[in-house]
Amino acid sequence: MTTIKDVARAAGVSVSTVSHVLSGRRPISEPTRLRVMEAIERLGYRPNRLAQGLVSKSSRSLGLLVPDLANPFFGSMAEAMEIAAHDRGYSVILCNTNLDPKREADYLSMLLSRQVDGLLYFPGTRVPNRALLEAVAAGVPVVVVDERIDNLPGVFVDNFDGGRQLGRLLAQLGHRSLLFIGGPEGLPTVTDRLNGLRAGLAEGGRASVNLLLRFGEYRASHGYEIIHACAREGVFAAVGDERPTAVVAANDMIALGALRALRELQLHVPRDCSLTGFDGVEFTAMITPSLTTVQQPSTRVATAAVELLLQRIEAHENHRDRERAAQEHQPYADAAPVIPHVVLPVTLVVRESVAPPPRN
């Protein structure tokens, strides 16, 4: 490894001069600058970020905690976030939590050890992770994404509105009996989408709709099993308003599994039963039938999250500096601790998987 010392020696200047050439924090004469640059080039010098981080107390990296990268929703989110972070000079340390609180705690500790400047966190469970709250208490800037946690800053989509648009659509088509397959019960995304759905159905003129609720995981297998379980219970053999004529899945993966199961039950989508998803991942446009879903602006969500996190990081650093400068007196209490929640709009994408209910 060639170090800044080697460069200094090669250029015949002091170490600090090389540093100043690189950072531009102090004026350097043109001839010296050129000599230094030449030496850097010639020796292939690359500053050691560990050393930089040690003195600057900032690693210029973010921790990304995500439940399940195999899910393309999280995949594209992670991709967009990494790109946004890279654009602003930050690296991303990937952590696969698998929704396991133990793993999360483990990762959090590692990330703090690595002096990350901030955390991008996808919650996957209802109760906020203890270790996360400790990290927040320890002063690490955090932005929560996708799933709301009340007193933490975050970026989300308007899940209620998405649900409402679905509800209106289905009501207008004439559906009076729905099966809602949620993710984990009580999770804000699930609850908001469901409440939105109810509101939309009401707006669509269906005052009283038969709404069957099931909860579980955000996975294809869950959608698949719920449908089969319902079938075993005779749900789809019922008549009149007892029989659901549409399945509303809380996300696209669940819908995918449900679609598979419906097909195995010889229920044609959308002829015998409509189906909707949520998130709008790429494959929903490609499958047969193409899936009616609510599209999240994933890139915008990801960018907004990184943006917000970097803002917080800067604020945090300034705060620390100010504290250090004026440690003897507290001139004014901290400004109102507003917790920013960015909410982005969603778009209903109507595709082949919905139709009026069968009449019989």
Alpha-carbon distance 104 to 108, whole Å?
A: 6
Q: Does position 273 bind a copy of itself by CB under 8 A?
A: no
Name residue 169's beta-bridge partners. Answer: none
Binder of residue 13, out of a copy of itself, DNA, none (CB less than 5 to 8 A by kind): DNA
**Secondary structure E strands in the chain:** 61-66, 91-96, 118-121, 142-145, 154-157, 177-181, 210-214, 246-249, 274-276, 293-295, 341-344, 347-349
Among 14, 48, 151, 318, binds a copy of itself (CB under 8 A): 48
Rounded to the nearest whole angstrom, what is the least distance from the CB of residue 51 to a copy of itself in the complex?
A: 6
User: For residues 57 and 271, which CB has a smaller minimum distance to DNA in the complex?
Assistant: 57
Task: Tell me if 113 contacts a copy of itself by CB under 8 A.
Answer: yes
1/127 with CB nearer DNA: 1
- Dig out the tokens for 255 from the structure: 């819908």
Q: Which is nearer to a copy of itself, 67 or 163 (CB)?
A: 67
Minimum CB separation of residue 112 from DNA in Å reads 11
The answer to whether the peptide bond before residue 188 is cis (omega within 30 degrees of 0) is: no
DSSP code per residue over 75-138: HHHHHHHHHHHHHTT-EEEEEE-TT-HHHHHHHHHHHHHTT-SEEEE---SSSPPHHHHHHHHT
Q: Which residues fall within 8 angstroms of residue 235, CB to CB, at 6 or more apart? A: 179, 212, 242, 243, 244
Q: Return the number of the residue (106 or 307) whose C-beta is nearest a copy of itself.
A: 106
Residues 162-181: x where in contact with DNA by CB under 7 A, - otherwise, as a string = --------------------
- Residue 140, Cβ neighbours under 10 Å: how many? 21
Q: Any contact of residue 31 with DNA (CB under 7 A)?
A: yes
In the bound state with a copy of itself, the residue whose beta carbon lies nearer, of 106 and 272, is 106
286 vs 338, which CB is nearer to a copy of itself? 286
With contact defined as beta carbons under 8 Å apart, do 201 and 174 qualify? no
- CB 68, min distance to DNA, A: 33
**Cβ within 8 Å of residue 5, ≥6 positions away:** 15
Does 287 interact with a copy of itself (rule: CB under 8 A)? yes
Under DSSP, is residue 290 helix (H, G, I), strand (E, B) or coil?
Answer: coil
Q: Does 50 bind a copy of itself (CB under 8 A)?
A: yes
Is position 3 an interface residue for DNA (rule: CB under 7 A)? yes
Binding partner selected for residue 86 from a copy of itself, DNA, none, CB under the kind-specific 5 to 8 Å limit: a copy of itself
Q: Choose which of 34, 41, 42, 48 interacts with DNA (CB under 7 A).
A: 48
Residue 87 touches a copy of itself, criterion: CB under 8 A: no
CB of residue 320 vs DNA: minimum separation in angstroms? Answer: 12
Nearest to 181 by CA among 227, 121, 130: 227
| Residue 208 Cα to chain centre, angstroms | 34
Which residue type sits at 93?
I
Helix (H, G, I), strand (E, B) or coil at 303: helix
Does position 56 interact with DNA (CB under 7 A)? The reply is: yes
Q: Which two tokens stand for residue 351?
A: 């595709």
Task: Candidates 34, 41, 54, 91: give the one binding DNA (CB under 7 A).
Answer: 54
- Token pair for 343: 């909410």
Please count the residues of this chain forming the interface with a copy of itself, following the rule CB under 8 A: 55
Instruction: Identify the residue whose tokens are 């210029």.
Output: 60
Interface with a copy of itself, residue 271, by CB under 8 A: no
| Residues near a copy of itself, by CB under 8 A | 1, 46-51, 53-54, 57, 59, 61, 64, 68-72, 74-76, 78-79, 82-83, 86, 91-96, 98, 106-107, 109-110, 112-115, 220, 224, 256-257, 259-260, 263, 282-283, 285-288, 290
| Residues near DNA, by CB under 7 A | 1, 3-5, 12-17, 19-20, 22-23, 25-33, 45-48, 51-52, 54-57
